[in-house]
Amino acid sequence: MKVRKAVITAAGWGIRFLPITKSQRKEMLPLVDKPLIQYSVEEAVACGVELVIIVTAQGKGAIEDHFDRSFELEHFLERKGENKLAEEIRRLSNMVDICYVRPKERLGLGHAVLAAKRVVGEEPFVLLLPDDLFEGQEAVLRQMLEIYQRYQGNIIAVKRVSKEEINRYGIIEPRKVAEHVYQVINLVEKPQPEQAPSDLAIMGRYVLMPEIFEALESTLPGKNQEIQLTDALAQVLQKQAIYAYEFEGERYDAGTPLGWLEATIVLALGHPDIGPKLREYLGGLLQRITYPEEALPSGVISREGRKGLK
């Protein structure tokens, strides 16, 4: 069965970005020239999704405004001769059908996904967590959909993490069935490293069967008194197979200030207009300013990496 619908969760408080997220919603923070959530919508569209369901919350009307038609702005831009920019603004409202659901409480990721039940119906669907951005953009989700067509079951994206990071993620117990593909034997939400069944952590892309909703309805609050999607997946595992795709390439957690900065730098360096000038600027900046090695953000600008910015 073709996957036609995508759920994107945007109901969180954005606590890690306070105080800016007191008034500016995390999903609307800019990554170069687009808000964070637009990357997820475009990723879903690139993978053939026909309806995007955004789970939002009170005070997040800016998300709806962003994807709505703005005749006045389009007209203003056209009068100024900015036809290319006017067309880009028009494209935002035309690229896919979007609907919004708003749960009455914020009780975790599982609760947010459950809010989309009536709109999704009895269909498989894609779940995207907008905090997670992947190198190659939609390549990971596209590969997951191909694996879904092969196995006709739930698919989750996973990546190996360090021992120190294990207690930040849901972790799977895997059994390899193909190159980069595992059958999931068990799932544990944010275990301590010594209790984790592996170092394969669940990242923010899923292809889910509709039975996940029944499992979410019977899932009790877990870590942080929230309804955890991983706990519901553990229930699904008793009746349905779950497969994991170990993707290659980098993944950026734009849900933290440091991860957001990393993603911004990477995306900006790849931008055709901004990239060359930013590369030149960063190269000069690193020649003028010396930081202790331990103060440099891991994976962003190491001393070895400075050579590539020259």
Per-residue pLDDT reduced to its tens digit, 5-17:
999 999 888 888 8
**CA dihedral (130, 26, 67, 113) positive or negative:** positive
- 310 pLDDT more than 60: no
pLDDT band of residue 159 (cuts 50, 70, 90) is: very high
Query: Measured between alpha carbons, how far is 94 from 79 in angstroms, rounded to an integer?
Result: 21
CA–CA distance, 130 with 112 (Å, rounded to integer):
13
Kindly tell me if the per-residue pLDDT of 29 is higher than 70: yes
Task: Tell me the mean pLDDT in the region 138-155.
Answer: 94
Q: Which pLDDT band holds residue 24 (cuts at 50, 70, 90)?
A: confident
